[in-house]
């Protein structure tokens, strides 16, 4: 096309038709500009198409991560409930009992392993979105806000875990002044009983039917303390920990699940065919 216009211009110049030459030159410029604009438009369209394809792929990956988060948090929630039930049982067990009526072994079993497993959030896709700037290509302010809120909630829950860890360690320090852990079969107790004590596949009180529990019971070890005040102090430390677990289970668990499900619902509406 350019060669065609060049030939026309050369002919017009040689014929002395300068005004017509200017018209054709201007026409040539206009065509070039139009061509450039069309090329830019096509390029922009291809870029947008590529961006949307990338966002669609990331959105699908984010849904998978959120679904795994829901499953993971549900397991942690069940662990908290198991620990809370044991604390309730221990509190009820020691009520109105004299110190010599309280079983050292039962006290240990009901207060062992007070901490749930750390949260293991599936953050790979969300981190990718933040680091790559992909969030700016999502044309839904509500979705962006919910993703941001969910990210903040998971970080808040990580901080909660550290606080719960500190409280459980404080409770353990108090318990160590109360209970005698020196059972001859303690290694077997740890392996066969205590390592499974927060395993959600088992009933909370299955430990009392375990052979190693029965064996330890025969040793008849007594509590270290003879002071009921120290018993009540231990129970109080467990009750404070239990209160925070109740918040996790009854409030924050619902916020986590609802937040994840709302994001999933919006993504499925926007990016699923």
**Segment 119-127 mean pLDDT:** 94
Provide the whole-model pTM: 0.80
- The pLDDT of 156-163, averaged and rounded, is 97
Do 221 and 180 meet the contact criterion of CB atoms below 8 Å apart? yes
The tokens describing 72, both together, are 């993971």
Binned at pLDDT 50, 70 and 90, residue 24 comes out as low
Q: What is the pLDDT of residues 106-119, one digit of tens each?
A: 999 999 999 999 99
* Residue closest to 1 by CA, chosen among 25, 26, 31, 23: 31
Domain that holds residue 41: 2-271
Structure tokens at 38: 């069309």
User: Could you tell me how far CA 156 lies from the centroid of its own chain?
Assistant: 10
CB-based contact 205:83 (threshold 8 Å): no
**pLDDT tens, 126-136?**
998 888 887 77
| Band (43; pLDDT cuts 50, 70, 90) | low
Q: What is the mean pLDDT of residues 136-153?
A: 92
pLDDT by residue (tens digit) across 240-252?
Answer: 999 999 999 999 9
**Burial of residue 104, with CB atoms counted within 10 A of its CB: 0-12 exposed, 13-18 middle, 19 or more buried:** buried
Instruction: Express each pLDDT in 168-219 by its tens digit.
Output: 999 999 999 999 999 999 999 999 888 888 888 888 788 888 999 999 999 9
Asked if pLDDT for residue 99 goes beyond 60, the answer is yes
Number of domains making up the chain? 1
């Amino acid at each position: 096309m350019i060669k065609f216009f060049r030939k026309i211009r050369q002919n017009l110049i040689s014929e002395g038709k300068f005004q017509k030459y200017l018209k054709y030159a201007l026409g040539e410029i206009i065509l070039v500009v139009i061509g450039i604009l069309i090329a830019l438009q096509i390029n922009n369209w291809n870029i947008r198409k590529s961006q949307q394809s990338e966002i669609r792929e990331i959105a699908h990956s984010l849904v998978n991560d959120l679904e795994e988060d829901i499953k993971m948090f549900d397991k942690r929630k069940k662990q908290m409930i198991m620990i809370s039930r044991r604390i309730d049982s221990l509190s009820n067990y020691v009520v109105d009992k004299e110190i010599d009526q309280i079983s050292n072994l039962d006290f240990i079993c009901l207060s062992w392993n007070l901490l749930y497993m750390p949260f293991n959030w599936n953050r790979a896709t969300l981190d990718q979105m933040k680091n790559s700037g992909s969030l700016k290509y999502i044309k839904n302010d509500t979705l962006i806000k919910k993703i941001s809120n969910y990210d903040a909630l998971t970080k808040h829950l990580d901080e909660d875990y550290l606080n719960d860890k500190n409280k459980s360690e404080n409770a353990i320090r108090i318990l160590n002044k109360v209970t005698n852990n020196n059972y001859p079969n303690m290694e077997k107790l740890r392996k066969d009983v205590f390592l499974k004590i927060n395993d959600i596949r088992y009933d909370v009180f299955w430990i009392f039917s375990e052979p190693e529990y029965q064996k330890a019971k025969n040793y008849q070890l007594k509590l270290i303390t003879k002071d009921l005040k120290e018993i009540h102090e231990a129970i109080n430390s467990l009750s404070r920990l239990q209160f925070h677990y109740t918040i996790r289970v009854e409030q924050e668990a619902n916020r986590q699940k609802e937040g994840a499900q709302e994001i999933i619902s919006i993504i499925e509406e926007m990016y699923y065919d």
